[in-house]
């Protein structure tokens, strides 16, 4: 038997089952697909596919449905992720380009993914520990207080207010603010925040005694911002889509919803991507290490600034998923988010 034909039959079964949610029989395959062989030959091919564990009969009938292994072969044999249409790409770009800050980018992205794919969308916030400092601004407030504005390459903005213990409204105080602003940006701008933190501590150690207390207050506040942001976050949208796919979860969607509430688990799954920033990762059914998610598939991809991946996004839904379209949607959105972050870094 031709292996190419057998894979053609598997592909046809996956496509029909995804579209109809009904077990697929040999007669339907011959009628709907140009396989160039008889129904008897297709039945033989299906029997061998079943022996290989790629399809199975959900009940006593002539129809077959793909297994997790069958979906995996189907996904792995995709020659390339098909691009979205020009209109779809334009709509994605216009929707995301309207974002005003990082929080808005994340919110728009997760809602867009859920709408495009009709699945549960998951977007990870960029972590400061994997980002770089773009600029640190100091804004005097009152006689001795400073607002510290930390601007990160991903577009995130963190603010802190500290009491320097020094009068900042006279010429000496204004010169001190300018000196601190210049010094911290010289050592911190353009480098990863974790590296910047070390350099800033060294700057305190090397400061004049008269200025050290004020500089210490600024550097400590920046350090606090880093500690608070080490706990990464994810944002979800489209959980109601699971209920619409209830037939794909014969037992209950309860365990899936419980797993989705464990953001640490989602962060771990999103973090298990390869080093290739252009790769769309697909984890199917039993490939998911989390018990509650083993009836689902997770399609994800990293996004970032430049060639560095600073976070991930993706969608989660039933294994009976339109993988080519879902993978194309995830890839397109990830690329647009990366472009937005690059633009934020350049401006």
CATH code for the domain in which residue 111 is found: 3.30.450.40
For residue 255, give both structure tokens.
């365990």
pLDDT confidence of residue 24: 92
On whether both 236 and 122 belong to a single domain, the answer is yes
Chain centre distance of CA 308: 14
pLDDT reported for residue 142: 83
Give ∠ CA 314-320-326 in degrees, rounded to 5. Answer: 35
332 and 210 housed in the same domain: no
pLDDT at residue 72, rounded to an integer: 95
**What is the pLDDT at residue 313?**
94
Domain boundary among 181, 200, 229: 229
81 is a domain residue: no
d(CA 273, CA 302): 8
Q: Is residue 79 part of a domain?
A: no
What's the confidence (pLDDT) of residue 226? Answer: 62
Beta-carbon contacts of residue 72 (< 8 Å; ≥ 6 apart): 284, 287
What is the number of structural domains in the chain?
3
Task: Output the pLDDT for position 308.
Answer: 67
CA–CA gap between residue 271 and residue 265 (Å, rounded): 10
Token reading at 217: 């207050």
Residues of the domain holding 177: 130-229
Q: State the Cα–Cα distance between residues 308 and 240, nearest whole angstrom.
A: 33
Q: Is residue 274 part of a domain?
A: yes
Residues 117 and 241 in one domain: yes
Report yes or no on 224 lying in a domain. yes
Asked if residue 78 is part of any domain, the answer here is no
Tokens 């430049």 sit on residue: 306
Supply the CATH number for residue 193's domain: 3.30.390.10
Tens of pLDDT along the chain (347 residues) come to 478 888 999 999 999 999 998 999 988 888 888 888 888 898 899 999 999 999 998 876 668 999 999 999 999 988 677 778 888 888 888 888 877 778 888 999 999 999 999 999 999 987 666 677 888 999 998 889 999 998 887 777 888 999 998 999 899 999 999 999 999 999 988 888 778 888 888 988 888 888 889 999 999 988 877 665 555 789 999 999 988 877 788 777 888 888 888 888 888 888 776 556 678 999 999 998 888 899 999 999 988 765 667 789 999 999 999 999 999 999 999 988 888 877 765 55
Which pLDDT does position 276 carry in this prediction?
Answer: 63
Tell me: do 105 and 251 sit in the same domain. Answer: yes
Does 237 share its domain with 215? no
H helices of the chain, where?
3-20, 26-32, 39-51, 68-76, 86-97, 102-117, 171-188, 193-205, 209-229, 240-244, 254-261, 263-271, 323-346
Cα–Cα distances in angstroms (integers) from residue 223 to residues 149, 203, 218, 290, in the given order = 13, 13, 9, 34
CATH of the domain at 57: 1.10.10.10
Q: Give domain status of residue 247, yes or no.
A: yes
Q: Indicate whether 103 and 176 sit together in one domain.
A: no
Residues 237 and 121 occupy one common structural domain: yes
Give the pLDDT confidence score for residue 217 in this predicted structure: 92
The domain boundary, picked from 23, 40, 67, lies at: 67
| Whether residue 122 is found in the same domain as residue 136 | no
- Tokens for 245? 């796919």
The verdict on residue 326 lying in a domain is yes
Tokens representing 319 are: 């294994």
Q: Residue 273 has what pLDDT?
A: 66
At which of 229, 252, 283 does a domain end? 229
Residues 45 and 59 in one domain: yes
pLDDT at 317: 94
pLDDT at residue number 19:
92
Query: Do both 47 and 63 map to the same domain?
Result: yes
Residue 80 lies in a domain: no
Residues 337, 248 share a domain: yes
Q: Is the domain of 213 the same as that of 328? A: no
Helix (H) / strand (E) element for 162: namely: strand 157-163
């Amino acid at each position: 038997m031709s292996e190419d034909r057998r894979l053609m039959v598997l592909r046809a079964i996956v496509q029909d089952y995804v579209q109809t949610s009904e077990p697929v029989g040999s007669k339907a395959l011959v009628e709907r697909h140009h396989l160039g062989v008889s129904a008897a030959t297709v039945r033989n091919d299906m029997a061998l596919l079943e022996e290989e564990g790629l399809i199975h009969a959900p009940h006593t009938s002539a129809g077959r449905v793909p297994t997790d292994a069958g979906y995996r072969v189907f996904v792995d044999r995709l020659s390339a992720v098909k691009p979205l249409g020009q209109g779809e790409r334009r709509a994605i770009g216009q929707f995301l380009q309207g974002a005003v800050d990082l929080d808005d980018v994340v919110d728009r992205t997760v809602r867009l993914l859920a709408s495009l794919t009709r699945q549960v969308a998951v977007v990870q916030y960029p972590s400061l520990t994997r980002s770089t400092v773009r600029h640190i601004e100091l804004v005097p407030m009152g006689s001795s207080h400073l607002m510290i504005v930390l601007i990160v390459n991903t577009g995130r903005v963190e603010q802190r207010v500290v009491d320097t213990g020094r009068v900042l409204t006279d010429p000496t105080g204004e010169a001190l603010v300018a000196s601190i602003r210049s010094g911290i940006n010289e050592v911190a701008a353009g480098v990863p925040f974790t590296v910047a933190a070390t350099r800033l501590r060294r700057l305190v150690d090397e400061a004049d005694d008269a200025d050290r207390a004020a500089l210490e207050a600024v550097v400590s506040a920046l350090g606090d911002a880093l500690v608070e942001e080490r706990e990464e976050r994810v944002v979800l949208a489209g959980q109601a889509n699971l209920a619409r796919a209830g037939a794909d979860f014969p037992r209950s969607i309860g365990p899936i919803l419980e797993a989705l509430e464990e953001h640490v688990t989602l962060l771990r799954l999103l973090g298990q991507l390869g080093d290739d920033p252009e790769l769309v990762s697909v984890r199917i059914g039993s490939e998911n290490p989390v018990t509650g998610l083993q009836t689902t598939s997770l399609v994800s991809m990293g996004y970032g600034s430049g060639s560095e991946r600073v976070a991930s996004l993706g969608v989660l839904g039933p294994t009976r998923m339109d993988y080519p379209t879902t993978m194309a949607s995830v890839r397109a959105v990830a690329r647009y988010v990366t472009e937005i972050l690059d633009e934020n870094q350049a401006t």
